[in-house]
Amino acid sequence: RGEAGAVRGAGGARRPGGAERRQRGRAMGAEAGGPRDTAPGQQLRALFYALPPGESSFRTVEEVPDYVDKSIPFFITFIGLEFAVSWIQKRKLPGRINDGISSLSLGILSRLPDVLFRSIELISYIYIWNNYRLFELPWDSPWTWYLTLLGVDFAYYCFHRMSHEVNILWAAHQVHHSSEDYNLFTALRQSVLQKYTSWMFNLPMALFIPPSVFAVHLQFNLLYQFWIHTEVITKLGPLEWILNTPSHHRVHHGRNPYCIDKNYGGTLIIWDRIFGTFEAEDAKVVYGLTHPVNSFDPIMLQLRPLARIWNTFWATPGFCNKLSVIFKGPGWGPGKPRLGLPEEIPEITGKEVPFDPHVPAYLNCYALVHFAVIVDLYTELLASMTMLSQGTVLLRIGFIILSLASFGLLLENKSKAGILEIIRCLVFIGVYKLGYFRSQFSFLGYAYEV
């Protein structure tokens, strides 16, 4: 059923034979039915939205590569490069261990639902395409490719702006803004819940753009936003007029009053220039939320805003006011404008100190080593999940979540973090000896047990 739906969704009533596919697709050398492999050079260019239509057009959704997961080695490489360049430029590192582990933990959490379920963005899109499409644009036309680029980016602008202006959407999106550092780790700091609120903004395209084309650009738009989360790149000249750049996005992540609710673009900055939400980088940007959460616990960072909305909802009198708590801006209150009062935004003094509890150096090293183990288990899970039972997958996901929460508490130096960590290590030993966990590197098995 899924295969038939994908083929219909790509504009074909029947599945063509191998020879016909090779004749029709410029980029369709691989047999349909599974994602195509991408060369390292192609994967690198995908990070910068630099794969032309001839290399990134596919007949069916099944053929679309998983560009995001295959970019993990490049993420690591660029993070290392950022550290080296920052040290050369400023003689200081671009981030901290505690904040970096927190950002990576949130990135892993955000991807875990995709291990169990197909992306809701694709499921909903394919459903609309199969049942309600008005006409079909050709999947192999460059015009369709470029139109989809504009469509996906405009949909992202609309969603991104709404995520800052609607409290319930902000509760999910604020996770990405919660870091007080600004580096490539921050790009991976994503919300588990955001994808369950963003999918509807793409649905109008499903009336005429094939799902296979949409699936490519959905990934490209996300990947492009990785490299703009850095301070080591200053200005990019004329490109600043068209593209979203590190300078523009630094403004978006600032909590300075002039930065609030500005520069929502994903790949292009033209939408902000058109709709009046553009702001150029000026005074030194101070990053993070206007009211910092002061936590490295990825579970707490995901759920605390929802708890705050819940408590405010019940504490606010009047049914209309209760609805306003959910659907108006995060700064709204009874008697205030929809987005709150600008004068209530805390002023920046330049003396702000990021949340950085003192933790012994050995504990930072401990958390770093054990986090590397979890990254290994996570990537091995992605590589082997089709061969694992559902119970084993759930067990691994549960242990990953437990581990990330434990690391967050350790880095905050919480009093009960040690107890939770001992329990976590005992669980690991048990399930590892029983064969439910497996490293990608067999020679590390004994080291993991130690």
pLDDT 10s digits, 318-327: 999 999 999 9
User: What's the rounded Cα separation, in Å, for the pair 351 and 244?
Assistant: 29
Average pLDDT over residues 239-266: 97
Query: Residue 160: pLDDT above 90?
Result: yes
φ/ψ of residue 417, rounded to 5: -65, -35
- Residue 46, in any domain of the structure: yes
What's the pLDDT band for 190 if we cut at 50, 70, 90?
Answer: very high
The per-residue pLDDT of the chain, averaged, comes to 89
In the predicted structure, residue 198 carries a pLDDT above the cut 60 = yes
Give yes or no: residues 260 and 365 share one domain. no
The CA-based dihedral angle spanning residues 240, 241, 242, 243, taken in that order and rounded to the nearest 10 degrees: 20
365 and 267, same domain (yes or no): no
pLDDT band at 34 (very low <50, low <70, confident <90, very high): low
pLDDT band at 25 (very low <50, low <70, confident <90, very high): very low
Coil, strand or helix at 292: coil
Paired tokens of 277: 């939400």
Q: What does the pLDDT read at residue 30?
A: 42
Q: What are phi and psi of 392, to 5 degrees?
A: -65, -40
Q: Is residue 12 part of a domain?
A: no
**Count of Cβ atoms closer than 10 Å to residue 278 Cβ:** 17
Residues 258 and 379 in one domain: no
**Burial label, 108 (beta-carbon count in 10 A; 0-12, 13-18, 19+):** buried
Is residue 243 included in any domain, yes or no?
yes
Spatial separation of the C-alpha atoms in residues 336 and 315, rounded to whole Å: 17
Could you tell me which of 403, 394, 392, 393 has the C-alpha nearest to residue 428?
403
Q: Provide the pLDDT for residue 29.
A: 40
Q: Which of 39-53, 183-197, 375-389 has the lowest mean pLDDT?
A: 375-389
Is 397 part of any domain? yes
Residue 347 has pLDDT above 70, yes or no: yes
* pLDDT of 136 over the 80 cut: yes
Between the alpha carbon of residue 337 and those of residues 171, 293, 415, the distances in Å are: 19, 24, 42
Q: Within the chain, what is the greatest distance between any pair of CA atoms?
A: 68
Asked if 260 and 396 sit in the same domain, the reply is no
- For 175, the enclosing helix (H) or strand (E) is helix 167-177
Cα distances (Å, whole numbers) of residue 279 to 262, 274, 343: 6, 12, 18
33 — pLDDT class (breaks 50, 70, 90): low
Taking residues 95-117, what's their average pLDDT? Answer: 92
Q: At what angle do helices 97-116 and 298-315 cross, to 10 degrees?
A: 80
| Structural domain contains residue 345 | no
- 5 pLDDT exceeds 70? no
* Mean pLDDT along residues 26-54: 76
Same structural domain, 368 and 229: no
Q: What is the mean pLDDT of residues 275-295?
A: 94
Task: Output the CA angle 413-292-321, nearest 5 degrees.
Answer: 130
3-state helix, strand, coil in the chain (%, to 5): 60, 0, 35
- Assign 391 to helix, strand or coil: helix
Residues 257 and 381 placed together within one structural domain of the fold: no
Beta-carbon count within 10 A of 76 CB: 12
Q: Which of 24-28, 67-71, 252-256, 412-416 has the lowest mean pLDDT?
A: 24-28
DSSP state of 15: P
Percent of the chain residues past pLDDT 70, beyond the cut = 92
Q: Which of 275, 303, 326 is the C-terminal boundary of a domain?
A: 275
- Statement to judge: residues 82 and 231 lie in one domain: yes
Rounded to an integer, the average pLDDT of 418-430 is: 94
Count: domains in the chain: 2
Judge whether residue 26 has pLDDT over 70.
Answer: no
Q: Label residues 27-63 b or e (16+ Cβ within 10 Å = b).
A: bbebebeeebebeeebbbbbbebebebeebbbbbbbb
- Residue with more model confidence, 285 or 450: 285
Asked if residue 14 has pLDDT above 80, the reply is: no
Q: Do 69 and 168 belong to one domain?
A: yes
Domain hosting 172: range is 40-275
Q: Are 149 and 217 in contact (CB under 8 A)?
A: yes
Domain boundary among 275, 296, 322: 275
Residue 254 forms beta bridges with which residues? Answer: 287
Residue 28: pLDDT band with limits 50, 70, 90: very low
The answer to whether 271 touches 254, Cβ cutoff 8 Å, is no
Examine residue 204 and state whether it is found in any structural domain, yes or no.
yes
∠384-69-370 over CA atoms, to 5°?
Answer: 70
Vertex 135: Cα angle to 134 and 139 (nearest 5): 135
> What pLDDT is attached to residue 386?
82
Choose from 89-98, 165-174, 439-448 the range with maximum mean pLDDT.
165-174
Given 248, 275, 302, which residue is the final one in a domain? 275
Q: Is the residue at 185 inside a domain? A: yes
8 has pLDDT over 70: no
pLDDT score at 12 = 39
Give the percent of the chain with pLDDT over 90.
74
396/283 Cα distance (integer angstroms): 46
Whether 130 and 248 share a structural domain: yes
Both 232 and 367 in one domain: the answer is no
Are residue 241 and residue 377 in the same domain, yes or no?
A: no
* 297 in Cβ contact with 179 (< 8 Å): no
Averaged pLDDT, 418-434 = 92
Same domain, 201 and 105: yes
Comparing 447 with 426, the larger pLDDT belongs to 426
* Dihedral, 234, 237, 240, 241 alpha carbons, nearest 10: 160
Residue 88 lies in a domain: yes
What pLDDT, in 10s, does the model give residues 292-324? 999 999 999 999 999 999 999 999 999 999 999
Angstrom distance (rounded) from CA 130 to CA 438: 40
Residue 400 CB burial class (10 angstroms; 0-12, 13-18, ≥19) = buried
